[in-house]
Every structure is written in C-alpha cells, then in structure tokens.
Structure 1
Amino acid sequence: MAGSDEGGQSGAAGVPMSPAQSRGARGLLEWSEADLAGKVGLDAQFVRDFEGGHRDPPSGQVEALRSALMAAGAIFTEGDAAGVRLDPQGGGGEGTRADALTTENDR
C-alpha cells in the first residue's frame, strides 16, 4: 500500500513499510496511533487510515513513520517473512538512507 511522491518508493531497498508492519511495530513499542503520529507531526487519523488500508499516502510520509519507529528500536524484515522485531539494543536504527531522502522525509 505504498504511495508515491517523487517517482519512487521509500524504505530499505525500495520496499515500503506495510500497514501490518506499522501496527506490529507500534504494538512492540507500546505506542498508540497518536504517539506515532506525534513523533512525525501527523494526525492520528492519518496513521489509523494508513494502517487500516484506507489511504495510499505519499511514500515520504510512510518513510517518516518508519524512521520514527526505527529510531525507537523497530527492525523491519523483508522477503518471504516480512515482519518487524525490536532491536535488543533498544533503538538507533538505520534511519532514512541518503538515496531514499525526499523533500517530504528530509527532517
């Protein structure tokens, strides 16, 4: 359910965060929709709509959500078993890669 904003998808290797991964990461971190939205300056309804599959947001906004979750310790896995887990070190994930920066996620 990735949107697009400047001709490309965001995330590691061009793979966007899925709504299920967002819900899972929030659950692991014990964050509400409002907690995640507040970290990136969005409305809780935006997170609710994205995670419910009711919205196709620009990839920069999804990347902002993903970056906030990663900074708190969420690690996203891809491939056949896409998912999310917590970093045992408790945070400081990879953040946004330089080749994935756009005007929307340049924060």
Structure 2
Amino acid sequence: MSGSDEGEASGRLPSTMTPAQCRAARAMINWSTGDLAAKVGLDEALVRSFEKGMGDTPSGQIEALRSALVRAGVIFTNDGSAGVRLGQSGADEGTRLDSLTTENDR
C-alpha cells in the first residue's frame, strides 16, 4: 500500500504535508497565505513560517492546513515523490480515525 499515511522505512511517520506541497496547493486553488490561515483559524505568520521551512510547526496545525486544502479539492500524492494535484472540489476525505463510532464504521 502506498500513500501519505504510510510509515517510512526508518519507522518514522512521514510529514502530512511538506512546505512545497502547501505552496503548490495554495497556488492551484488561488489562495493566499491569509486565505489558508483564515480557513483554519490560524495566524498567517504561522503559514508563512511553515512554507519557508522555518521553526517547528506542530503536526496538528499542519494537518489542519492540509485538511482545509483537501476540502478545497487538492489531492496530496506520494508516489515516489511528494506532490499535489487538483481533484474534485469539496472532496470528502472520509471519517477521521478518532471520530469513528460503531455507527459510522461501515
């Protein structure tokens, strides 16, 4: 199985989104750093810092940014190298693991 949720050979979990993927995804849907930050309620400076590869952005905040981009139709790929492509707008990324219940786990 391949994909961004699969662990690397070293046993570390891969980054959910690279700074380059974030910049490319925003460009595809014509969003500014401010647009993306506003979608998830984060500071624009955090988005700019992450995209420049500065600091140590918490993985939860990176995942929030990624989820907003996915909801806008961006598809993250990792078939040999990390990339992005534009899919159907408003794509459903499914039910998150921590949200599964006996009712929705079908």
Could you tell me which residue of structure 1 aligns to residue 5 of structure 2? 12
Q: Considering fraction of residues, name the structure with more helix.
A: 1
Aligned-partner Cα distance in 2 for 1:93–1:29: 17
After superposition, the Cα gap between the structure-2 partners of 1:25 and 1:58, relative to the gap in structure 1 and judged at 3 Å, is: same
The TM-score normalised by the length of structure 2 is 0.75
After superposition, the Cα gap between the structure-2 partners of 1:95 and 1:31, relative to the gap in structure 1 and judged at 3 Å, is: farther
After superposition, the Cα gap between the structure-2 partners of 1:68 and 1:95, relative to the gap in structure 1 and judged at 3 Å, is: farther
- Count of matched residue pairs: 89
Contiguous gaps of at least 5 residues in structure 1: 1-10, 101-107
Which 4+ residue blocks in structure 1 deviate beyond 6 angstroms? none
C-alpha RMSD over aligned residues: 2.0
Which range moved further: 67-76 or 91-100? 91-100
Higher relative contact order by CA 8 Å / sep ≥ 6: 1 or 2?
Answer: 1
The TM-score normalised by the length of structure 1 is 0.74
Matched residue type, 2:17: M
Aligned-partner Cα distance in 2 for 1:96–1:20: 26
Could you tell me which residue of structure 1 aligns to residue 34 of structure 2? 34
Deviation of the 1:92 alpha carbon:
1.8
Contiguous gaps of at least 5 residues in structure 2: 7-12, 100-106
Larger Rg: 2
Task: Give 1:1-107 correspondences, 5 Å limit.
Answer: 12-13=5-6, 14-15=13-14, 16-87=16-87, 89-94=88-93, 97-98=96-97
